[in-house]
Homo-oligomer: A and B are copies of this chain.
Amino acid sequence: MNPGNGIPIYEQICRQVRFAVANGGLVVGEHVPSVRELATRLAVNANTVARAYRDLQAQGVLVPIRGTGLAVALNAVKTCQQNRLEMIRVRLRSVLLEAIQNGVAEDEIRRLFDTEWKSLILNCSPDG
């Protein structure tokens, strides 16, 4: 979780689940981590995870399996794969819009992109 990026925690959880379904990190028909387990793992309140799971059910990504938890819905993979880049696109567009509206030149923003990308893959590849 990345606090302070403006995205509520439950929403971040939703996004990560959708990414994981699209990536195959969460397999169709398999149970997702239980509310309590994921809450512990993310050091977050159980209700926050429950809220995320409830939203994901409403969106058809998760389906309840009575008494045993929640599982990835059969047709969730397709939807999540379609939305994978879309989720990033919306956020990226918002940043680029602010840059353009405030006179940031293309080479400036491209340089930012390159340096940040390099910096992040160095941090993420070892432990990712």
Q: Give A contacts to B, CB under 8 Å.
A: 2, 5-7, 15-16, 19-20, 23, 45, 58, 66-67, 84-85, 88-89, 91-104, 106, 108-109, 112-113, 116-117, 119-121, 124, 128
Bound: A113/B116 CA distance, A: 14
- CB-contact partner of A106 in B7, B94, B102, B117, under 8 A: B117
Cβ–Cβ < 8 Å partners of A128 in chain B? 100-101
Pick from B7, B15, B85, B117: contact of A6, CB below 8 A: B7
Chain B residues closer than 8 Å to A7, beta-carbon distance: 6
Which of B5, B66, B94, B99 sits near A2, CB closer than 8 Å?
B94
Give Cα A66–Cα B4 distance, bound, in whole angstroms.
12
Q: Is the CB of B93 within 8 A of A98?
A: no
- Chain B residue with minimal CB distance to A108? B85
Contact B2 A102 (CB under 8 A): no
Chain B positions within 8 Å of A66 at CB level: 45
- Which residues of chain B are near A113, meaning CB under 8 Å? 92, 96, 113
Chain B's nearest CB lies how many Å from the CB of A20?
8
8 A-B contact pairs sorted by A residue (CB < 8 Å): A5-B6, A5-B94, A19-B103, A45-B66, A85-B112, A88-B99, A88-B104, A93-B116
